[in-house]
Structure 1
C-alpha cells in the first residue's frame, strides 16, 4: 500500500477516535474547563488509565470534578486539590456549566420531546448540570439522573439573580452560616415560618437577610420561595408535585459534592414503607453518656430527623414509638410486620467498658434477608467525617432475629467515649448521620 493511502487511513482513524469522545473533552495533553459528573453509585479512582492500576479512592453519584484530560476510555479528574486520578469514562457525563430551573415542578423527561416519558420533576431555583442542547430541549443532570427539560425554563447559573425574592423557612431549625458551605461557621439560626429576603444565590445555597437583622447563607432546600415570584410559564409545568431528593451541589476546592436536601427529580422511595425504631424509651433509658445524655433521647431525635428526610424521598415512615414511651421488643417487631415494612431500621447509641472504642456499626441477622440492606449503609456511613465507620457485622438482636422484614440495627456512636458522646449530641452530626442513612436507604431501593 502506498504511503499516501496509509496517511489517509491514519487520518480517518484519528478523526473517528476524536469523534468518539464527548463534545468538549480534549486529548491526552489538553486541559479543559469541563466538569465530569459521576453517574454511578460508587466508582474507583485509579492511579492510571486502566483497571490494572491501583485504586486511590472512590467517587459517588452526583459528585462533580474538574476534568483534566481523557485517554483510552478513561477520564483524568482532579479529585482533591492538586491530586488527580483516572475514572472510567463510561461512568461520567461531561458538563460545562450549571443552570437554574425557572419553573416549579418542571418535568424531567427521558427523551427531548413532549411525548417523552416523565422520569421526575425539578423545582424552581434548583441547580442542574447542562450536558447539551437539542433544539428547544436541554439535557441535564440532577443527582446523577440524566434527562431532558424544556430550555425555556432554564437560566445559566452565572446569569441568574433572584434579588428581592421573599422566602419562607420550611425546616423546624435552619442554620445560618457565614459562607455557602456546611463547614462554614454558624452565625445564627432560623425557625419554621421565618420570612427572609433572598439577596444572592450559589448552587444549593441562598444568601438571606432576616427581619431580625441576621444575614448569612442557608441551604436553599429549606427555604420555599413565595408563590407568584417565579416565572409563571406553563408549557412544561406538571400537574402534581414530587417531594424532595438530595440533589444540590456545593463546592469545596475543585470538588463539587452533594451537600443539602432540596426538591428533586425522582421520588425513589414512593410506595415504600420504612419503620424507624428509636431504641429504648420510657422506663428503659438505654445507656447514658459521661455528660448525662440519655440514649433514648438521642435515638428519638435521630428518628425524627430521619423521618423527614425519608418522607422527602416519598417514603411512608412509621415510628415504633412517639415521644418518651416504652415499647417492648416484641411490639416493635409486630409494628414492622403489621405495616409490611420494606425496611426496618433500629437506631441506637452504644456503650462498652473500653472508653477508647469509637465509631459507627451496622448490624444484620439474616444473611439473605438483611445483608443487602446492611451493605447499602457501608459507603454513606464510611464517608462520615465525624466518626469512624466500624463496618457491617452480624448481630443477634431480638428486633433483627424475630423480624421477618429486611432489618438492620445501627449503633451510631459510643456514649462511653467522651469524644463520641460530645459529637453525637451536635446538630451537625445529627444532620450528617441522618443524611447518610437516608442516602443508604435510597440506594438500597434504586
Structure 2
C-alpha cells in the first residue's frame, strides 16, 4: 500500500514538473517583433491564405501558437492572424505593450477625431493595402471617424464598419480646423463646359444618375456651389450638378489672354460630336481575367483600371452618336487574336487599346501612344496630343510599337499607355475620377479631331 502511494506521488510530481516547464517555455516566447515594413498578416499558416492586414516594422505582438514556419499572433479587436517566422524576431519574455516608438507614433490619433473625404468616390478596404477586400464606398464630403494612421493609410469607422483609406484623400482634423465649409451662392455666375460629353448629374457625386450630357462651349447659370460641385439651372427648368473641374466660370474666362479666348471660342464652336456620329469605334481594355497586366506599387491591377477608363470613353462616344464596341465589358480573359478580330468583324473606323505602364525605375512617369504602320500614325498623333492637353501628363511622345493588337490589325489602330503604375505618385493620380474623366475626354477629342480632318 505504501509503495502504491509513493508511486502515485512520484507521478504527480513529474506531471507538475512537466507542466511547469511547458508553461515557462510558453511564457518565455510571449511576443514577436516585426522586422520588415508592410508585413502581410494572413488568415492561415500559408501563402495561399488571404491577407487580413499589414504590419509596420517594429511592431510587437502576442504569440498564440506556432505551426511549421508560421506564427499565429494576437491583433487588436480580438482578431488573430498568421505571419511568416523569417520576417519576425522572437522576444523572450517581452510583452506586446513594449511597442516601438515608431509603431506608437502611427497609432497616435484620437479615436474621437473625424475627417472629411475629398475624393469623388473612394473605396475603403479591410486592410491598408490596395490588395485588401473592399469594405464599402465613400463619396466626397462624407465625414468619418478616424481610429488610427499607418504611413499612407488611415483607419476609419463609418456606418458601423471599419476600414482603411489613403491619407491622400481625406482631410484630417488639423486641416479641417483651418478650412471653412465651402458653400457659396454665386451671383450671376455663368459656367462654360470644357469637355464634350460632360455629365450633368442629379446629385453632387460621380455615382449619381446622369440627367443629361453637355458639350464643350455650352453655358449654364450657377445656382449654388458646394464641395467642388456646382448646382446649375437646366433648360427644362430642372436643376443638376456638374463638377467644378470640368467647367470654367466668368471670372476665369475674364483673366485669360486674348489668344486663349480666341482658342476657346474656336473650340466651343466646333462640336466634335458631329464628326464622331455613326463612326464605328472599338475600345479594347487591356488584359482581363487571369491576365492582370502590371500591378502598381500600391497593388493597383492594370486590368481593372483599363476597364474603368474604357467605360468612361464608351459613355462619351455613345452620347456623341458613335457606334461603339467594347472588346470586354467585365473581368474576362481574351486572347490577342480575338481582340483584333472584333475590329475586323465590326469593320472599325478606329481601334483603341487602353493600357497602363510599368518599369523598374519608379521615377519614370508619363504617357505614351504607339502605332505600328505609317497609316496608323495620324490617329495616334491626334489622340496623344489631345490626351496630353486634357491630362497635363508628362509627354513621352508618339512612337512605333511592335504590339500584336496594332501589328496584326488592318484597321486604324493605336495602343495608349496612360501612365506608370510603377510610380507611386502617378499610380494614385491615375486612379482618381478626375484623371479618368480627363483621359477619356482626351481620347474622345483626339478621335473627333482625327475624323474631322
More strand per residue: 1 or 2?
1
Structure with more of its chain in helix, by fraction: 2
